[in-house]
Amino acid sequence: MDMFPDTPADADTEALLALLLPGGAVAPRRDLLDAHGTPAAVRALPRSRWRGAGLDAAQIRALDGDPAGLDPVLLARCRDWLRQPGHHLIGWHDPDYPPLLRRAGSPPLALFVAGDPSLLWHPAVAVVGSRGPTAGGRDNARAFSRALAAAGFAVGSGLAAGVDRAAHEAALEVGGITIAVLGTGPDVPYPQEHAGLMARIATEGAVVSEHPPGTAARREHFPSRNRILAGLSLGTLVIEAAGRSGALITARLAADAGREVFAVPGSIHNPMARGCHRLIRDGAALVESADEVIAALGTWAGALRGELRRRLGAAGQVDKDGTAAPVPAVQDDPAHHRLWRALGHDPSTMDQLAERTGLTAAALSSMLLNMELQGRVAVEHGRYSRR
């Protein structure tokens, strides 16, 4: 069976759309899916259970099939979009929901994906920066992205002008993987002149949005787009950024999610370098080559690749030699044992674990991700415990 079928099961798809399209608070809907397993099972509950879980009136009307609960034009647009080959809706309940995004702050209830959803499991680096970079900044974006893609990392960005476009195009030029995270619907390029690039990414990589098809660009959508980009990535690399820049929001969200943040320094006379210099002062890693990023993320990438191979093997997909690829075990060393002893069944914060083990936050993040992907550790609201 295909791990990522082109057309999801009708009952769950319809129920997921009914959960998703009214908008509103996401956490109560995620909690219902956690408790009951599938959107169809949630939809089968009595209204009193929906109210008790914290759903608002609009969400309840939509689940109940009230004609006033869902915009019929929007619903039809979603159905039509999902019928097209290569289009997917991946919900919170789905075992194929990207594991890194699941453990980030405020994960979306569902993702519309044009392209290959398995790429959202691939070790990725978000490459972000100014929409109006200097010539040197654009060259750096291309050089770093080519090297990262050639090393096997997916290059994620936001399809914007400037650094974003340079990053996407450079990854494609070397036959690498690139992922575009949109602040619009999955069928709405922004800016419009990037329509051709978006179509190519959908064919060779993946285009991702939490917004339904047809959603136009809105200012408030772009910070939330940045949180998804940061959440899908092992680390965020800022090439050039002014003192006030959306790239700095992505970097902050990456740090909040426990991911690595890298910044390329520049001239003190370049206003586009001020944001990077501020990040470095605040603790981001100063990097001068892609090799430094690759070395810093190597352990994390191995854990994520192993989990993808495990997932593909479980779904009946195998390597080119006809066998499921082996999954590397957690490294059997004293640091891992020290962390395991420090973990209890009561949730612990990263600071508590660092105090108990004497390990750095970066080392702990790598080991905790590995343990979580193996099903040994649970994480909720930034606190870790044994499963």
**Domain spans of the chain, in order of start:** 10-115, 118-296, 302-386
Distances in Å between the alpha carbon of 90 and those of 50, 84, 117, 147, 255?
A: 22, 15, 8, 30, 25
Quickly count: other Cβ atoms within 10 Å of residue 174's Cβ.
13
Give the model's pLDDT for residue 316.
46
The CATH class that applies to domain 118-296 reads: alpha beta
Q: Which residues of the chain have pLDDT under 70?
A: 1-9, 302-303, 305-333, 362, 366, 373-375, 380-382
CATH number of 302-386: 1.10.10.10
Angstrom distances, CA of residue 58 to CA of 20, 45, 327? 11, 16, 44
Please tell me the predicted confidence (pLDDT) of residue 243. Answer: 81
Q: How wide is the angle at C-alpha 346 spanned by C-alphas 121 and 27, nearest 5°?
A: 50
The pLDDT assigned to 298 comes to 78
What does the pLDDT read at residue 343?
87
The pLDDT value given to residue 381: 62
Residue 356: alpha-carbon gap to chain centroid:
30
Q: What pLDDT, on the 0 to 100 scale, is given for residue 314? A: 53
CA dihedral 311, 316, 321, 324 (to 10 degrees): 40
User: Interior CA angle at 157 toward 154 and 159, to 5°?
Assistant: 130
Chain mean position to CA 3: 18
Question: Model's pTM, two decimal places?
Answer: 0.80
Q: Is 384 helix (H, G, I), strand (E, B) or coil?
A: strand
User: At 332, phi and psi to the nearest 5?
Assistant: -90, 85
Q: What is the pLDDT of residue 310?
A: 63
Q: Which of 162, 174, 105, 169 is nearest to 135 (CA)?
A: 162
Domains 118-296 and 302-386 belong to one CATH topology: no
The pLDDT tens digits for 108-166 are 999 999 999 999 998 999 999 999 999 999 999 999 999 999 998 999 999 999 999 99
